[in-house]
Amino acid sequence: MIQTVHPNLREIREKVEAQQRLTVEDGLTLYAAETPLQEVGELANLVRERWNGNAGYYNINSHLNPTNVCVYRCIFCAFRSDLRDPKGYLMSDEQILERGQEAVHNGCTEMHIVGGLHHQKQYDWYLHLIGLLHDAFPRLHLKAWTAVEINWFEFLTRRSASSLLEEMIDAGLGSMPGGGAEIFHPEIRDRICEHKADATRWLQVHRSAHELGLKTNCTMLYGHLETAYHRVDHLLRLRELQDETGGFQTFIPLAFHPENTGLADLKKPSGLDDLRTIAVSRLMLDNVPHIKAYWIMLGIGTAQTALAYGADDLDGTVRQELIYHDAGATTPQSLSVERIQGLIRESGRQPVERDTLYREVLRSSQDPSQWQTGDDVSVPSLS
C-alpha cells in the first residue's frame, strides 16, 4: 500500500483503481521525471496482478533469422546487410532444417522467425520456408514475419495482406511477432525508417491477421530520437486497434541499442527509463493481457526487476538471437530453463512455462524434451 500519494498521481491512481482509461495527458504525467518511478511501478504492479496474478511467464524458444540482407536501411539496425557485403548471408533449406531439428531437440515449443527483405528473394521463398519447417516439425509453433515483411510481400505480389496471411496460415504459420512497429509518429518514423510500412500499414496488417484469428504481438522501439509524447502516442494507437480486434497478446518495449548503428552517438536508455517504460506501458495498454520484459535487450537484472514494475513475462530461453547482439547487447545468447526459473522465483513470482499462445506447458519429468499443453489431446498425458 502506498502511504502518501504524489500529487501528480492522485487522479491517476483513482482512475487505475476504478479501472478507468488513462489519457495522453496521464501518459505524459507518468513519464514526467518528477513523478516518482517507485509509485508509477506500484500502480503498474496493481494492474499486472489484476491481469496475471503472481505468474512469471517464460517460454522455451529459438530464433531464426534466415537472411540479414535487406532492401531497407533503417538507421537503428545493426543487423542488416547490403546484398554484396561480405557480412550478408542467406540460409539454405538444409541449414534451416538443421536449426528446426536443434530447436525440437532442445524442447523448444516456438520458433521466432524474422529477417531481412532480400533483394533477390520472392514471396514464394518466405512461404516455402514456413511449409518446410512446419512439415518437418509440426509441433513447433512458428511465430513468423513482422508486419513490415508482410507489407513487403504485398508489394512483391500485388496481393492483399489477408490473402497472403491465409496462405501462410495454411502452410503452418502460427502467429506473428510484434517487430517493425518502431515509433509510429511520422515525425520520428520518417527519420529512422523512412521507406518501410508506415503506422497505418503496420496496423492494417495486424488488423488483417486478427480478423483471420491469428494472434500477434506488438512492440515499441524507444530511447533514440523520440520524446515521451511520441511514446504515448504510439501506445494509444496500439490500444485503439486492440479495442477493435482484441488480437494482441503481448506488448514488448524494445530498448534501443546504439552500437554499430547509424545512431551510434546516442546512449542506451537507462535502467530507470526501461522500468518506467514497462510501467507506463502496463498502465496505458489496459486492454493487452501481457507485458514482456525481453531480457536479451533489458539485461537480466532489469528484466527481473521489471516483474515488479508491470511485466509478467521474460520471453524465452532464446537461442541464436542476432538482432540485438549485432547492436552490442552483452547479454548471453541463451539462458537455461533453470536459470530463468530461478530469476523469476528470486523476484517473488511463480515461474510458469507457456507456449506462444500463453497456454501452460507441462513437461515430462523423465524427458523434459517431451511436453504438452493443457488442451493438447494429441499426445498421451505426461507424468
Gap between the Cα atoms of 1 and 13, Å rounded:
12
The size of the interface with ligand V47 (CB under 6 A), counted in residues, is 20
Considering only residues 86-115, where is the footprint of ligand V47 by CB under 6 A?
none
Considering only residues 225-254, where is the footprint of ligand V47 by CB under 6 A?
252, 254
Nearer residue to ligand V47 within complex by CB, 108 or 254: 254
Nearer residue to ligand V47 within complex by CB, 217 or 334: 217
When asked if residue 219 is in the footprint of ligand V47 (CB under 6 A), the reply is yes
Q: Shortest Cβ distance from residue 353 to ligand V47 (Å)? A: 15
Asked if residues 28 and 50 have their Cβ atoms less than 8 Å apart, the reply is: no
Q: Shortest Cβ distance from residue 97 to ligand V47 (Å)? A: 23
The residue within the footprint of ligand V47, chosen from 57, 58, 76, 145 (CB under 6 A), is 76
When asked if residue 185 is in the footprint of ligand V47 (CB under 6 A), the reply is no
When asked if residue 175 is in the footprint of ligand V47 (CB under 6 A), the reply is no
Considering only residues 294-353, where is the footprint of ligand V47 by CB under 6 A?
294, 315, 323, 327
Nearer residue to ligand V47 within complex by CB, 114 or 133: 114
When asked if residue 188 is in the footprint of ligand V47 (CB under 6 A), the reply is no
When asked if residue 196 is in the footprint of ligand V47 (CB under 6 A), the reply is no
Q: Shortest Cβ distance from residue 294 to ligand V47 (Å)? A: 5
| Binding range to ligand V47, per CB under 6 A, among 47-55, 159-167, 173-181, 342-350 | 173-181
Asked if residues 382 and 364 have their Cβ atoms less than 8 Å apart, the reply is: yes
Is 40 strand, coil or helix? Answer: helix
| Binding range to ligand V47, per CB under 6 A, among 171-179, 199-207, 237-245, 304-312 | 171-179
Nearer residue to ligand V47 within complex by CB, 12 or 70: 70
φ, ψ for residue 48 (rounded to 5)? Answer: -60, -45
Nearer residue to ligand V47 within complex by CB, 47 or 252: 252
Asked if residues 242 and 275 have their Cβ atoms less than 8 Å apart, the reply is: no
The residue within the footprint of ligand V47, chosen from 217, 242, 331, 372 (CB under 6 A), is 217
The residue within the footprint of ligand V47, chosen from 16, 22, 64, 77 (CB under 6 A), is 77
When asked if residue 182 is in the footprint of ligand V47 (CB under 6 A), the reply is yes
DSSP string, 212-272: TT--EEEEEEESSS--HHHHHHHHHHHHHHHHHH--EEEEEEEE---TTSTTTTSPPPPHH
| CA geometry: angle 111, 48, 188, nearest 5 deg | 65
Residue 184: partners with Cβ closer than 8 Å, 6 or more residues away: 198, 199, 202, 203, 233, 234, 237
Q: Which residue is listed with cell 530507470?
A: 272
Asked if residues 70 and 81 have their Cβ atoms less than 8 Å apart, the reply is: yes
Strands (E), the chain: 55-59, 61-64, 110-113, 141-144, 173-175, 216-222, 248-255, 290-291, 313-316, 350-353, 361-363, 371-373
Beta 371-373 vs 361-363: how paired, if at all?
antiparallel
The residue within the footprint of ligand V47, chosen from 174, 178, 299, 310 (CB under 6 A), is 178
Gap between the Cα atoms of 259 and 78, Å rounded:
7
Taking the CA atoms of residue 163, residue 164, residue 166 and residue 170 in that order, the dihedral angle to the nearest 10 degrees is 140
Gap between the Cα atoms of 219 and 183, Å rounded:
9
Residues in the chain: 383
Nearer residue to ligand V47 within complex by CB, 35 or 223: 223
Nearer residue to ligand V47 within complex by CB, 43 or 173: 173
Nearer residue to ligand V47 within complex by CB, 36 or 262: 262
The residue within the footprint of ligand V47, chosen from 78, 113, 140, 307 (CB under 6 A), is 78
Considering only residues 4-33, where is the footprint of ligand V47 by CB under 6 A?
none
When asked if residue 210 is in the footprint of ligand V47 (CB under 6 A), the reply is no
Nearer residue to ligand V47 within complex by CB, 42 or 315: 315
Nearer residue to ligand V47 within complex by CB, 43 or 241: 241
Residue 341: partners with Cβ closer than 8 Å, 6 or more residues away: 58, 351
* Residues of the shown chain interacting with ligand V47 in the complex, contacts defined by CB under 6 A: 76-78, 177-180, 182, 217, 219, 221, 252, 254, 256-257, 261, 294, 315, 323, 327
